Structure 1
């Protein structure tokens, strides 16, 4: 879910850029004008970037611009028809599958508003580096929607009760609260965050083999049935979206953004 989508015409895709150097694959969500809200096409690009072969020992997912890591899925796209919602569902599931199958440990560097699909991405990564200006959460409930797919992913890291509280309450957590729940690894100052990330990335790159063993240990101790759970939950996502008033509530919200509200 995003608060970064304007009300006007068809959404223009941003970009997911990939660069590989020094043993690190850098995957950047680069749509700062929309607070890095993810279109269905961008979700597919992100999944492909995570899954692509290469020699990097580590991959890091980042968000461009000062507003935040990722404001979630582009709700302006999916209210334009059921087909768009289905494509976003497919995109989210592709991200989940790519992260679960990644041949290398995954790090994400999150800052500012990290909402909806941004929370999903962070919860799928092995290490989460967070700026101290983090606002982390799931505002979908404000649109009378429940983020069932994100709930399923959160249960990989937190208890079912905590996942429900995060999804049902709609409250944004700060970095310290997210770390206390096990959803953030390191907290860094927001001022100079990009520079501060570099030594932490170097540390995890140099210890990527051990980090990979830890990743595999988690999988042995708690094998993930996340794709199967998402299969069972997907009908609820569509049922919720098609309830009377949901689309209209989102449209009013986007209209307010278009008027500068």
Structure 2
């Protein structure tokens, strides 16, 4: 996708997705639809195991919604495509790990996009905000996600004030996994991606489905659904060759060879 605002690069089982819309990597409706197609295809391709999402350049990860496009007629409630805004945060059955490599400013919908990933790695100059309050609208996805990720009163302060905060503060509240020098960001993201790509994909799928299903469930209800094999990914895992391979490899004191089946 060399002429697209969404660039992709594949290396083995890893897909790198770069949002590249100068000057700021803002997302309009057309870009959101492309991102949805990219992540849907990633989800559905059995040969791909891990995705990295990052931004082009070294200043912006993503500032969210393209307000200039909105002024030209893009409706804020328009067709964002499969997966909703940014193609990721509402994509159903995304049972593969996604890493966000935050290379700069991540605000508004851009921060919400980053929150859709499973592991967040930030460059040391990255900064964050949810400034929707200042333009008279709501950071809807962040209002759902943020109070579940960090202390409630901190989440509410960030949502109600729209203030900026840096990578150090984001890390202190557990919003991101780690901070690295900007020059090392993609190297670190690929290191993490290769580690995950070497792991058991059926187990990853089960973990992600269990986490989603149990988010608002009582503990015993969630456990009952798992043990009764009511979750598709868990049912597939328990009957899989990989489940047997893991046991054999342990008994034989060797590294397992995961087939994803």
TM-score, normalising length from structure 2? Answer: 0.70
- The yes-or-no answer on 1:85 pairing with 2:76 is yes
Q: CA deviation at 1:142?
A: 2.6
The higher radius of gyration belongs to: 2
Query: Are 1:189 and 1:196, in contact at CA under 8 Å, matched by a contact in 2?
Result: no
- The yes-or-no answer on 1:28 pairing with 2:18 is yes
- The yes-or-no answer on 1:154 pairing with 2:146 is yes
Spell out the pairing of 1:62-73 with structure 2 (5 A cutoff): 62-73=54-65
Work out the number of aligned pairs and report it: 209
Aligned residue number for residue 125 of structure 1: 117
Q: CA deviation at 1:213?
A: 4.2
Distance 2:65 2:212 in 1: 28
Query: Are 1:18 and 1:25, in contact at CA under 8 Å, matched by a contact in 2?
Result: yes
Q: CA deviation at 1:64?
A: 0.8
2:66 to 74, 87, 90: 74
Structure 1: give runs of 5+ residues left out of the alignment. 1-12, 225-261
SS at structure 2 position matched to 1:28: strand
Q: What RMSD, in angstroms, separates the aligned Cα atoms of the two structures? A: 2.6
TM-score, normalising length from structure 1? Answer: 0.70
Distance 1:130 1:196 in 2: 10
Runs (4+) of structure 1 exceeding 6 A deviation are none
Q: CA deviation at 1:144?
A: 3.2
SS at structure 1 position matched to 2:60: coil
Distance 1:58 1:70 in 2: 21
- The yes-or-no answer on 1:197 pairing with 2:189 is yes
Query: Are 1:105 and 1:208, in contact at CA under 8 Å, matched by a contact in 2?
Result: no
1:130-170 C-alpha deviation (Å, 9 max, x unpaired) = 11111011122232333233322334534554433222111
Q: CA deviation at 1:216?
A: 3.0
Distance 1:175 1:213 in 2: 31
Spell out the pairing of 1:10-29 with structure 2 (5 A cutoff): 15-29=5-19
Q: Looking at secondary structure, tell me which structure has more helix per residue.
A: 1
Distance 1:42 1:138 in 2: 21
Distance 2:86 2:27 in 1: 13
1:45-72 C-alpha deviation (Å, 9 max, x unpaired) = 1122111121111111111101121111
Query: Are 1:104 and 1:212, in contact at CA under 8 Å, matched by a contact in 2?
Result: yes
